[in-house]
Structure 1
Amino acid sequence: MKKILFSTIFAIGFLCTLLLHNPNIAKAEELYIFSGEDLKTAPNINLKNRETIPTGFRTLFDKENWYYFCLDQLKTYPNSTTPPYVPARNAENQGVKWLIKNFHGDKELISNENNLTQYALTQLAIWCLTNPAVTSYRDPIVSNNGNLKALIDEARKHREDVDVEAELMQTTLELSNTKFVQYHANELFKSKISATITHTKALPTNKKIEMEDIKVYSIENGSKKDITNNAHVHLTESDFNINLAIDELFYLNFVPSYSVVVEWFGNVSATDNFVQGYKTVTERKFQLVATAHIITLSHAIKDDTTLKVDNFINISGKKNWDDGNRPDDITVNLFANGVKTD
């Protein structure tokens, strides 16, 4: 069975493409990060009261000159002998994530500044959001630079943003537990299974939901047998259902202890400007850093449901109409011990 796409992923100009099976841990080679200009003394940074910037803030970049930001000002900046950095889970502050994505994206509120000033503004805003002792009203570097204060205020509005990476990891596939329905017209026993995928509303609009082939198994006394070839499976894209039918002759061979298990595997992915953290093996000493890339996040989803094979009774009858005029609709009610059955 061919894969079915329930959303279309749009083309995006990739700045850097990494595939993540865990959205917080990228499949990337080790990388070396270097420190450059001191934000307190570097020329061409258009900020007042730079002398009040804490000592040590420097530009951070890799060999491709891609910028990174420090997440802990008190730790040592990387140097020529620093161990390589590897992907790590950090930068979980949503306001900080917004700042990093903003720098590598639209550069909201800082687009009129030169690149080095944009970097300094972003790094200092991250410092303010991660250092509880810093306030926009007490520190001259903040209070005397309206663009920095505006950037901090905007980032604080994003502190409660949905964590898209976490939402993706919580995405689940849920199949309903539906019983078989006997259907004689084409000698098939049919069942309709509803499927629901959770936690997708917060994902980017270019999310892609890709469902793999369905597997059908019979279970008897703990023994599992693949009967997919005896099943007819049709996926309906419009209402996200599985229409399952099993050949009557195969179905009639079941004994009451049999059940049928339907398994469905899929994958949910989304492409966006995501934040990725990095650390060294000696993370207690060296900076935790983070950057943003256009990244495709991917998460596998799976669920199964058991369809009980119910005992059934075939009832047949014959009715003649004296006048020969058979009505268009006929209703037959079945009663068991005086109680109407469905």
Structure 2
Amino acid sequence: MHRDALDLTAAGAKLAPHFPPVVVNRAARRAKSRLRVVLLNAAGGRRFRDIVKCLKRPPLNGAEVILLCEVNAGSKPSAGRDVAAEMAAMLEMSCAYIPEFGVTNSRGEIIGYMGNAILSAAPFDDVLAVAMHRPRTPPMLRRRRRWSRKGTPTGLVTRVNFGGRELTVGLAHLHSRCMPAERARQMATYLESFPRTGRAVFGGDLNTTTTELASWADMRATARQMIATPDRFRAPQAYEPLFEHLREHRLEIEGVNVANHPTFTFSGLIPRSMRPKLDWLAVRDLHPIAGTAAVVSPRSSILMRRISDHDFVTVDLEP
């Protein structure tokens, strides 16, 4: 991807993306009778070839829309690869990539990017980068590194055409450590740029932890809650006001997500009943096909270790 990304931020201006999106369009695949959507937090994407192997097997194969959070380009975690672009080429799909943060070395030079991507079986008619505010960094995360990063949380709103019908496709990755109210603020800002009408698919790692994780005391309190009330972490809707903003935009989560099923495994020692549900799909004016919503373990084979600490989330829709 182009390394000399343009800084669009100006003093006193409305919050703007720090970097522009990078778009590669390819010819459309033939439209099908259903629309398969897949979501994954790729954890940087260093093992992107294994991710592609997963995407070529049922129930993920043949997806028309793939939403990817945490895909790096050029930085050390991705071994210097442009993860989204290479995955799109391997899958013969179009790609829209938004760098959220530029990773800089000790001399202040950008050596890579951290961002999000949408892969599509049809070319993009329009791609918009949407900047969101950046909650404060918790003191526990402020440690000395040989690198730093600059930028702002940024989502994507795109427009594609499947079988002659327009579809809005959106993606966002929300903050993991802040209070639920701050994530709701991020969501509200993002949705200001998302159309209020028309067929739409939205997804992302929304980090619906139901808590603030800004200090070790917060972490200990959350651990106690996981033991005392584990259900809240698999069904966080009542604790995360961001879902109200989705409903205001008529973006529905019912039927397109597996209810009460966790999507995040920070340690295999944690019982499944205590793991959180962080990754979500939402749709408008589209109907999920019964029995197709699934959470899929991110392993290229049963004997291989996980590709990501997040699971794949998928559903088939009637277009």
TM-score by length of 2: 0.23
Q: Which has the higher contact order (CA 8 A, sep 6+)?
A: 1
TM-score by length of 1: 0.21
